[in-house]
Amino acid sequence: MEKMTFREIFIRNMKSLRKKNGFSQERLAEICDSSQVYIAEIETGKKFPSPDMIERIAAALEIESYCLFQKKAETGERFLSPEQQKAIVNSINASVSKIISEY
């Protein structure tokens, strides 16, 4: 089974759920009060959303935010390992700290 980073999992899930809901990048951006360019940058891995944007994306897709980080296996859904969960939390905390320090 291919090993994916949490960012790759997030991107794959976001794109898949966006398409499943019949949303264009532009429509998702409108719902999230963002821009189509930013949604495209997220989906191409050029940018990673803030915790607030993750919540807005999840709400637009009508799922819980943690679902965007779940890796699906052939036998069904599988939750992230504790190490993967810790990496996600650390990355989000680092992003929030960076944002706070810039203001």
pLDDT tens by residue, the chain, 103 residues: 567 888 999 999 999 999 989 999 999 999 999 999 999 999 999 999 999 999 999 999 988 888 888 876 333 344 556 677 778 878 888 888 888 887 7
pTM above the 0.75 mark?
Answer: no
Distance of CA 41 to the CA centre of its chain: 12
pLDDT of residue 50: 94
Instruction: Give CA–CA dist 79/73, Å, rounded.
Output: 10
**CATH number of the CATH domain containing 27:** 1.10.260.40
Residue 31 inside a domain? The answer is: yes
Q: Could you give the CA distance from residue 20 to residue 23 in angstroms, rounded to a whole number?
A: 8
Assigned domain for 96 exists: yes
Residue 1 lies in a domain: no
Domain that holds residue 97: 6-102
CB 45 within 8 A of CB 7: yes
Residue 95 CA: distances (Å) to CA of 11, 20, 53, 66: 17, 29, 12, 17
**pLDDT at position 75, please?**
32
pLDDT at 89: 79
